Structures are given as C-alpha cells and as structure tokens.
Structure 1
Amino acid sequence: MVTTTSARVKSRPETERKRTEILDAAIEIFGAKGSTNGTLADIAEQVGMTHAGVLHHFGSKQKLLLEVLDYRDKSDVAELADQHIPDGPELFLHLVKTALANERRPGIVQTYTVLSNESVTDGHPARAFFEHRYDKLRTEVSAAFLELCAQEGVTDTAVIGKAAASILAVMDGLQLQWLLDPTAVDLADASAFAIQAIVNGVLHPGPALETYAGR
C-alpha cells in the first residue's frame, strides 16, 4: 500500500506537466487551424503521444477546448492577488496591462480570437463559455464605472452598460487587427487610447458627432 501511494504521489507532478504540454500544444494547433480543423491527432503528434493518450488526460476534444479557454483566462490573473482582476478604477489599468502582456503571447491571443469568433456558430462547444465570459466581464467593468463615477461625482450613469461593452469590443477588435498585421497596430498603446477615451467619455461627455458635421 505504501508503495502504491508513493507512486501515485510521484505521478501527480508528471501528470500535471503532461497536461500543461497538451494545453500548450492545443493553443498552438487551435490558434493556427481553428477548433474544427485542428485535431486531437495534431495535438498528440505535437507532444509525442497517441490520440488515446490525449483522451486519457482530457476525455474529449470538447473538454480539451474548454480547458484551453480556462487555461488562457487563468494565465491572465496568475500573478494577481487572489488570482482575480482588480475592482474599481484599477480595473481599467489592468485592462491596459493585459493588452501589453498579450503582445508577448501571440499564440494565446490568436487561439482566443479564433475560438471566440467560431463560438457564434450554432452548437459550438465554446459558445456557453464565451456568453458567460462576456456577461461576467460586462458586469465587472460596469461595476468599475459605477465606482469611478461615484468617486468623481458623476450622477448620469445611463451610458455605463454601453461603455463597458464598448471597451471589451475595442480590445478584442484591436487584437484581431494586431494579429493580422502587428506592424500596423501597437496593441498596448491603441488599447490604452481607446479605454481612456471611453472612460473620459463617461466622465466628461463631449458634444454629439453631429455638432462637427457640416462645419
């Protein structure tokens, strides 16, 4: 019994290492080929395993796909306190820092972009994941806006929902442009510019666009 327990304990780090290898390979494969064309056989070949070996660790391609997305999200907050994004106004700075970090991990960004775009199709296994993710992020960014508005004495908070959705849309859209041509877009600077513009638009609304037309 002692020997069996000892062997089991020793196997855990090895199992986690192998799972991480598979996840890293899946990020590369799904990012390059998409979740439909990227196969478990591709991933197995990348890590020197059999198709059955990959299934042993993750059970199915769908489960692996969801694990990849969870792995990506956890990497965003791995070094943060309580492994959670900050609350309040600090959240906006965190989003800018995330864009800067994403410049150093194009593979993860590409996988996220490919899978999020694919998730709008009927029956896609990641659809529920992204629906929940965007709902949660909109809620968290809206809460940060409410706290910032209270801090700055802004009472008109009607646009907060639109502002929160716009920040997320701009960040994802800039990632797509950056992936297509990294020389055309400075991901961190453009993200900071957009987030600052939206935050300032909530705190200090300017004239309507129609004001400038026909001048």
Structure 2
Amino acid sequence: MAQGSYDADMGRRGAYAKGVAKREEILDAALTVIARNGYQRTSVRDIAEAVGLSQAGLLHYFASKEALFAEVLRRRDEVDRERMPADPAARVEGLIEIMRHNADVPGLVQLYAELSTEASHPEHAAHDFFTQRYAVLRRELGETVRAAQERGELSTSLDAESVATILLASADGLQTQWMLEPGLDMAARLEHLWAALCRVP
C-alpha cells in the first residue's frame, strides 16, 4: 500500500473511532441528564450542552431525537444487564432488582414508558428496538421459567413463554402505576407475583 493511501486509511479509522467515542459520551450524558431532569423536561439542547455540542452538532451523530432516545434506552439496558445474573435461574431476581433500581431514576422510567407507547407505530425510529427488546427478554425469561420448572419450583402446567410475557407486562404496568403513585413498591409487587406463580399446583 502506498504511503498516501495508508495515511488516508488510518485517518478514516481515527475519525471513525472518535465518532464512536463521541456517541458513547453523548449517550452517557443523556442517561444522566434524563435521569435527573425527566424525559419531558429534557431537550436535545440540554444533552448537547452537556457534551459541548450545538443541537445540530449532536444530531450529526443520530438521525433524529427519537433515534437518540432509543439509543439512550439501549444504553440503559446495557447498564441494567450488569445487574442481571448470567444464570437463567436467577433472572427473575435480577428483574426484581432492576425494578428496585428504577425507583431511583424516574426520568428514565418516564422515557421508557412514553417512548414505548410512541414506538407502537411501525414507522417510529424506536419501533424495531422495542420489538427486538421484548423478543429477547421473553426468550431469556422463558429460559428462567423452564429452569424453575426443571427444579420443581414452578408447575409444568404453566406455559413458559406465557409466564415470561406476563412478567414483562407486569413490570411495565407497575412502572406506569408507580409514575402515578410514587409510593408503590414495584419490586415487592413483582416479587409477590413470582411467588404466587410458584405456588400454582
């Protein structure tokens, strides 16, 4: 490879790496700003200022405001996965722990609730994110349910995927109720549901 071509290639790689790093910085800043201010009170300008960019400069890294917020939720999921045990048998306990943590970040709960509703439209920028997210979580929680059935903790009369779907729907519904009634203990309610399912003969 000629020196000029090599230098140009290295320059492109360097620019790409810087772009990726800036996106990561933006997402981390957005998590902090939204958790602090709430979804409704956070603008693209607020996030841009947190990373030293103009609003137009920030949107250079994301196709739209909706795409930015979808990526913020993707980053939140990455952080939450650090709390989720790798062992399928412990994933319900991990989900309960995440619900407990969510009570400390109301802005992100609000973002999730509102964006998931908006994303029901197939053309919304976050539509694919949510459909894929639910598919993955149903599969993983389904593995947890089957593991509990194999250990004799959960009745084999229950359909694993149905139980997984119910757990996810309950978690989402509890978050909505909690936004209306902040004193509600989301984690305790979800824990109660799992205990009740484990008592089904």
TM-score calculated relative to the size of structure 2: 0.76
How far the C-alpha of 1:26 sits from its partner, in A, is 5.6
Q: Is the contact between residue 145 and residue 160 of structure 1 (CA under 8 Å) also seen in structure 2?
A: yes
Secondary structure, aligned partner of 1:168 = helix
Find the aligned partners of 1:32 and 1:144 in 2 and give their Cα distance: 35
Q: What corresponds to 1:208 in structure 2?
A: none
Find the aligned partners of 1:103 and 1:152 in 2 and give their Cα distance: 32
Secondary structure, aligned partner of 1:89 = helix
Q: What corresponds to 1:72 in structure 2?
A: 76
Q: CA, structure 1 residues 153+191, in 2 after alignment: closer, same or farther (shift >3 Å)?
A: closer
Percent identity (aligned): 31
Q: Is the contact between residue 102 and residue 109 of structure 2 (CA under 8 Å) also seen in structure 1?
A: yes
Q: What corresponds to 1:120 in structure 2?
A: 120
Q: CA, structure 1 residues 32+39, in 2 after alignment: closer, same or farther (shift >3 Å)?
A: closer
Q: Is the contact between residue 86 and residue 94 of structure 1 (CA under 8 Å) also seen in structure 2?
A: no
Q: CA, structure 1 residues 43+154, in 2 after alignment: closer, same or farther (shift >3 Å)?
A: closer
How far the C-alpha of 1:39 sits from its partner, in A, is 5.5
The answer for unaligned runs of 5 or more in structure 2 is 1-6
Find the aligned partners of 2:196 and 2:179 in 1 and give their Cα distance: 23
Q: What corresponds to 2:189 in structure 1?
A: 190
Q: CA, structure 1 residues 22+178, in 2 after alignment: closer, same or farther (shift >3 Å)?
A: closer
Q: In the TM superposition, what are the counterparts of 1:35-46 in structure 2 within 5 Å? A: 40-41=44-45, 43-44=47-48
How far the C-alpha of 1:31 sits from its partner, in A, is 2.1
Q: In the TM superposition, what are the counterparts of 1:83-162 in structure 2 within 5 Å? A: 85-152=85-152, 156-162=156-162
Asked whether 1:21 is paired with 2:29, we answer yes
Q: CA, structure 1 residues 154+67, in 2 after alignment: closer, same or farther (shift >3 Å)?
A: closer
Find the aligned partners of 2:83 and 2:99 in 1 and give their Cα distance: 15
How far the C-alpha of 1:42 sits from its partner, in A, is 5.5
Find the aligned partners of 1:119 and 1:29 in 2 and give their Cα distance: 22
Find the aligned partners of 1:18 and 1:116 in 2 and give their Cα distance: 21
Secondary structure, aligned partner of 2:88 = coil
Q: What corresponds to 2:4 in structure 1?
A: none
Find the aligned partners of 2:31 and 2:97 in 1 and give their Cα distance: 24
Find the aligned partners of 2:147 and 2:78 in 1 and give their Cα distance: 25
Q: CA, structure 1 residues 46+88, in 2 after alignment: closer, same or farther (shift >3 Å)?
A: closer
Q: CA, structure 1 residues 17+119, in 2 after alignment: closer, same or farther (shift >3 Å)?
A: closer
Asked whether 1:32 is paired with 2:31, we answer no
Q: Is the contact between residue 83 and residue 94 of structure 2 (CA under 8 Å) also seen in structure 1?
A: no
How far the C-alpha of 1:28 sits from its partner, in A, is 6.4
Deviation string, structure 1 residues 82-138 (Cα, Å, up to 9, x no partner): xxx433321111111111111111111111111111111241111111111111111
Q: What corresponds to 1:170 in structure 2?
A: 170
Find the aligned partners of 1:19 and 1:63 in 2 and give their Cα distance: 11
Root-mean-square deviation (CA, aligned residues, Å) is 3.2
